Amino acid sequence: MTVVDPASPNYHTRGNWMASSRTGGTPGSADHFAVFAGRDTGALVSGVSLTGLSDVPSGSAAVTFAWSKTSSPGIVTFTPADADAATAAFSQPGVYILKLTATSGASQVSDEVTVHANHSPVSWLAAHPGIGGLTDDFDGDGRSHLLEYALGTGPSVADAGSPATAAWENGHLTLAWKRLRPQAAVSYTVQVSSDLPLFRDASAGEFTETILTDDGLTQTVKATDTIIAGAQGKRFVRLKITAVP
């Protein structure tokens, strides 16, 4: 099959295609000026890469870009603030709404992106001066500072009980815990055992994951065992938390 677009005879040439924000356009020819600030993402406060995209009708004036903040619990530093590709660093954790404005002649368009910025273990320690290092336990509650960071709990307030809650639901074992939103510098792995004390990481698909709550920075997540309890011998479950270098 041969498709010919008389309005754009070079449509088949690499480089003549443009991102389009709507269907029905002509290849190689943007029908209106548009900008995309990128997909919402998790990040560390130390910085995140932003990649803006723009769609510009041929013959338009040169495009300039400007990053700014729409909603922000802290200070945002853009490097540089006048390019579609930039990095943003944050003065504190929080949910930030950033805006990319593109200007071409008298035309101006903008788009927003939401960034969920969390501490890294290092910046978390810096925000809690005097408590020691990641392996210390300042409040003596049995949780190292790495665990306090990963669970979103306070290093100066003794926490009671287990940070992960095991339960029995409709014949399936479940484990629920609070975690930082993805892209924080820590990983959470469900481990299983049928023969204590030996545990192994759960296989892909062995547990299904449900997010119960999400406040923008932390989530409560529940992992449900796909195996029906009683269909095999004993089964134990636990949570492993590891710092991601």
In this structure, the number of other CB atoms found within 10 A of the CB of residue 211 comes to 11
Q: Shortest Cβ distance from residue 210 to Ca ion (Å)?
A: 26
CB-nearer residue toward Ca ion: 112 or 159: 159
Is the Cβ of residue 112 or residue 139 nearer to Ca ion in the bound state? Answer: 139
CB of 130 to Ca ion, least distance (A): 15
Given the complex with Ca ion, which of 120 and 153 has the nearer CB atom?
Answer: 153
Phi/psi of residue 82, nearest 5 degrees: -120, 30
Q: How far is the CB of 192 from Ca ion (least distance, A)?
A: 27
Q: Are strands 164-169 and 172-180 parallel, antiparallel or unpaired?
A: antiparallel
Please list the residues that pair with 79 across neighbouring strands. Answer: 87
At residue 145, the 3 state secondary structure works out as: helix
| Nearer of residues 72 and 178 to Ca ion, judged by Cβ | 178
Residues 6+ apart with CB under 8 A from 56: 18, 30, 33, 63, 104
Closer to Ca ion by Cβ: residue 128 or 172: 128
In the bound complex, what is the minimum distance in angstroms from residue 151's beta carbon to Ca ion? 9
Q: How far is the CB of 92 from Ca ion (least distance, A)?
A: 20
- 228: three-class secondary structure by DSSP: coil
Q: For 113, left (φ over 0), alpha (ψ -120 to 50), or beta?
A: beta
- In the complex, least distance from residue 102 CB atom to Ca ion, rounded to whole angstroms: 46
Q: Which residues bind Ca ion (CB under 5 A)?
A: 139, 141, 153, 159
Q: φ and ψ at 215, to 5 degrees?
A: -100, 15
Nearest residue (CB) to Ca ion, 52 versus 163: 163
- Residue 189 beta carbon to Ca ion: minimum distance, rounded to whole angstroms: 22
> Residue with the closest Cβ to Ca ion?
159
Of 120, 123, 119, 73, nearest in space to 98 by CA: 73
Radius of gyration of the chain (CA): 25
Q: Which is nearer to Ca ion, 55 or 141 (CB)?
A: 141
For residue 151, give every residue at least 6 positions away whose Cβ sits within 8 Å of its Cβ, in sequence order, or none.
143, 163, 177, 178, 179, 241
